[in-house]
Structure 1
């Protein structure tokens, strides 16, 4: 008789909790952990998946340990692991490490450097099954960051393992389709100051007035989410509100600038973000090609993430 253990996978991020079950169901729950970390356990208990799932094992990965509510990343890892084990006290919890293996919750308390921000490695290990032979590049575009992970014969072969190393090598880009501040992508926006003038680049405020979600709302790449208020000003994720947020980057209101001009400015930001992403992808592909000269014309590309459309 074959006994099947139901597995619950958890990815605890700084802004979202992602859950998936071994029977193919998944769920994403918005949760800004830096605002109320003490509510993490209760948010986990509220997952709808748990109403129909009795897991025999919990597999955990995370990125929320970097949230500024924690004094150190190690403290963040331990807090997250403790919260998960408190929700599932009778169920084994296994934590994914960037060394490519799971450890127990107890071991994770001492292996915080390997457990921190390991979700990209878990994804790459799983995605590698789709490309068991030859070189490949996994491009995972999320709401906050983009991962560019080299694979060889189905195995992740990153140059760096922690986020600092990955930032240095270009395998981690802090650019996503929702949460990246506009002022982190561009320093100026094109604007026509009078009807008979040519558009000129106007320096923008170095303030978090608008994010890439606003940009992609205005270009039509993202749908409106009136119920979502996780925005720079706490107002809804609608095009009307996005116009005002983007106008604030230019130190004015949407009533001061024509909607067509603000939409054109959003298109400018979107294009700049895309070009920055493409430049990073080309660098990684060139590096892969130099490492696999006999297979440089056969490098496969895998796309994933909520913003995969940006790199498609």
Structure 2
């Protein structure tokens, strides 16, 4: 039985463990803070559920293993400065940007990038954290602790946010899922819809972009590419070298989920183009207690992460999948009264973007 060790023991690690059983792959998730260091065999593989981790005895131990895939590229992609430099070197469209070095001033950044500029921490930051807006008309200044620790991006008036989940094996074969339409609120993913026929014309463009990135990094496993759509052009927002929240719909909506696909690639098993099954919607459960009545709604799969509930924290998700779009819409109607009032606008957004037929 192949053995895969996962750096990180959150919900992504748990879902990798769930996907491993049919493959006869043993997956063990390791918290970075764990003091007891496992004995890792030379033929074992090491992967991650996160691209950033603290410096601990556990993380140093894993980094020394010969089977730690993508070790060097993970370290670089975790730095947004490197991400941007890599995209520029590959000729892949991304928002105009500049480095925020120790001598940076808001005035010069506005001259270069425009009136509204988003600062992003080079490392860390997710779900809306690690970001700071500079507005020229408000006279905002760069906080001192951001100097030398951030990049600045021009505000992009995008049409919508799309993501592409792709996978590459050690032989260089690549496969991709359909483009996914995403809704964010305060930087947190709230819902995803896939597949979506009206964005299918952008699929080849997206695959060419992500395929080029995967090959350039000699990457093995699943990677997510988050994009802004500007007319008929895609611009990369950020890369996630791991399984990704916007790919959770694949658990119900594809013959091979993103979690199984990642393990196939990592454990040297065949990867294949994922057959999509019907219409899928994913609703993130953010900062609210579990309602077991969600489990009664037809066409749904409910995932609860078992984490303490805190405002703004991802504590679960609900996948909806059915061959008939009318059944997906019926499930959304059944879920509406079972979710907090603020989810009404999320469900309205999904209904607006679901294919009509």
TM-score range, shorter chain: 0.3 to 0.5
Give the number of the structure whose residues are more often helix, by fraction.
1
Could you tell me the TM-score, scaled by structure 1's length? 0.34
Give the number of the structure whose residues are more often strand, by fraction.
2
Could you tell me the TM-score, scaled by structure 2's length? 0.31
